[in-house]
Chain A
């Protein structure tokens, strides 16, 4: 087993990885930049090193240099940054450092989404209709032809990208050229690769992912499926497991497909096999994510497994700690992605410093966060502040618990989307479990605040008291004799 691991990431996931490392008695090396020096993951690690490169957490050279200098035997990349860079994995191997994740070949294959879909299609599974846009300077006519073959609505996607960025939905032909231009520009910016493809939109649909674990001994197990159909800007706001939209037959079929597909790719370590389920209940493979996911905790709560621990074990050559028969998927779990953004102001990111940070606790409530009172929420990185997870024995109880937890979550210093989550989970479509990808497309955050007269008067009373308290603090200290001389008969100016 490794004695020391370097975590090539930050924030919430770095904190998550450090926790498991500590439980396993493994020393941790954390990285930070000037912007997140006071971040929780830095405080909890055993050793810390500052990144100086402008590429920060994505700088392979600096990360490797630090790994070597600190004697780290393995690197956990988390998600994003270097997690799916095959070249980085190869360099780790060259330096004799174990990369905690799949092999470079598998990463390369899976990053080429079209190739991955072809492989899965050849094995007899459904994939969405798609068209390759090989020529970066593809002429308009070619673009429109390819789109016509795929059909509308379609999504223009980066052939290399992930985490939902660089994708644009196109409803009609007249929007295609502009969308492709924008997508190409964004893909070049984010991934350094402007290779695009068009994929038919299956809508409305359900976004499902099956979490798998695969070791070097040929064992592949799944930890159930997650439903992540509530997306905003391609980010999954709320995930739940199991999916309320599948029957048992479908569920078993999708689990089996996921395991088969993982084997097909000679996959090792952890990943998520992603599917779209259409209105007729057919599932279509879209891609496989070759890394730990933000929503991995949902599967952990259902299965009782520690995915980070399994990742480390697998990378160290050990088998997955349970066979499929030994894995029991029980109860219901949900996760809310709490972002530092303001739903009342068009979700503008809200950086700042936390002056109050009360996270919900109690039975079956888990919060994965890097936040704490006094810490800075930097402008530069992802607005993800915390993942709020709850578990219960059934879905209705799970929603109640989630609602309770959201009510308890108090953040002062930055705005958060807690109010958005509260509104979503109270919506009848969510409560009934009958929602799909159309839900967020139609959902509008209710900025109005209806109030009973009693509550309104309470608010008025509190406002008055707050105002006076703040004024009193602001009052200069005045000697009594001077006070008596001033004029109180002044007129109010007309407004």
Chain B
């Protein structure tokens, strides 16, 4: 179950999303306490997921790539997504290589090469979709390299730092 705050035209809404265990593509969603069922017909290809059924209402929808603008039949809306679970570093391998979990912008660098870090220590901050994701070290060790610069855009999976 994921908790998010979604802001539409500057009004925030609290959301809880639980993927169905039985039906792929179906989600139980609670918006401001009101339940809804969302079904995504193209669930295995999110690129094509441009239409959904909410309860019994079909919608064709469009999101800008950065998910800041949404468009449905009633018009166009400014959107912000706040993920309540702060994104943390999920390294693709156990060996201390820190790869970008989402595409974004490096807005803070907390450590330097050679510095000793503990498990969970913040290394850098990645900004994406109007959220700041603090990337923390998964292991105890020394910062072997910082592969990014302040203000650099990183793509998904790009190597940002390495702890050994």
Contact = CB atoms under 8 A, between A and B. Distances in A.
Interface in A465-495: 465-479, 481-483, 485-488, 490-493, 495
A348 to B, nearest CB: 14
B8 A463 contact: yes
Which of A455, A472, A478, A487 has the largest number of chain B CB atoms within 10 A?
A487
B90 A490 contact: no
Contact of A463 (B46, B50, B73, B81): B81
B75 A461 contact: no
Interface stretch (A186-194, A301-309, A445-453): A445-453
A396 interface: no
Nearest to A454: B57
B109 interface: no
B88 A467 contact: no
A344 interface: yes
A448 B75 contact: yes
B90 A483 contact: yes
Contacts of A410: 60
A412 interface: yes
A487 B136 contact: yes
Contact of B91 (A465, A482, A495): A482
Given A419-B75, A486-B89, A460 B134 contact: no
Interface string B84-100: 01101111111000010
Interface in A402-457: 407, 410, 412, 419, 446-451, 455-457
B120 interface: yes
Given A459-B77, A495-B132, A465 B27 contact: yes
B94 A449 contact: no
Contacts of A456: 8, 13
A490 B88 contact: yes
A238 B80 CA distance: 36
A462 interface: yes
A475 B90 contact: yes
Given A457-B13, A476-B99, A483-B90, A464 B138 contact: no
Nearest to A457: B31
B156 interface: yes
Contact of B76 (A344, A471, A481, A493): A344
Contacts of A483: 90
B88 A487 contact: yes
A487 B125 contact: no
B74 A476 contact: no
- Chain B: interface size category: 35 or more
B86 A485 contact: no
Contact of B15 (A419, A446, A460, A492): A460
B142 interface: no
Contacts, number: 158
A460 B17 CA distance: 11
A382 B67 CA distance: 29
A228 to B, nearest CB: 27
Contacts of B50: 356, 412
B97 to A, nearest CB: 11
A38 B11 CA distance: 44
Contacts of B52: 462, 465
B147 interface: no
A452 to B, nearest CB: 9
A465 B74 contact: no
A458 interface: yes
Interface in B37-53: 38, 40, 43, 46, 49-50, 52
A490 to B, nearest CB: 5
A469 to B, nearest CB: 4
B111 interface: no
A155 B83 CA distance: 56
A474 B149 CA distance: 22
B157 interface: yes
A458 B43 contact: no
A448 B76 CA distance: 7
A412 B50 CA distance: 9
Interface string B104-119: 0000000000000001
Given A464-B15, A479-B94, A482-B94, A469 B40 contact: yes
Which of A344, A482, A495 has the largest number of chain B CB atoms within 10 A?
A482
Contacts of B86: 490-492
A210 B100 CA distance: 63
A421 B161 CA distance: 51
B148 interface: no
B38 A473 contact: no
B54 interface: yes
B90 A478 contact: yes
Contacts of B70: 459, 462-463
B164 interface: no
Contacts of A468: 2, 17, 19, 27
Given A463-B6, A467-B4, A488 B101 contact: no
Contacts of B61: 459, 462, 466
B67 A457 contact: no
Given A455-B72, A464-B31, A478-B92, 7 more contacts: A449-B74, A457-B32, A466-B63, A467-B83, A468-B2, A475-B101, A493-B125
Interface of B: 2, 4, 6, 8-9, 13, 15, 17, 19, 27, 29, 31-32, 34, 36, 38, 40, 43, 46, 49-50, 52, 54-55, 57, 59-63, 67, 70, 72-77, 79, 81, 83, 85-86, 88-94, 99, 101-103, 119-120, 122, 125, 129, 132, 134, 136, 138, 156-157
Q: Which 5 A-B pairs have the closest CB atoms?
A: A449-B75, A476-B92, A461-B29, A469-B46, A458-B54
11 contacts: A407-B73, A419-B75, A449-B75, A449-B76, A457-B32, A458-B55, A459-B59, A462-B54, A466-B49, A476-B157, A492-B132
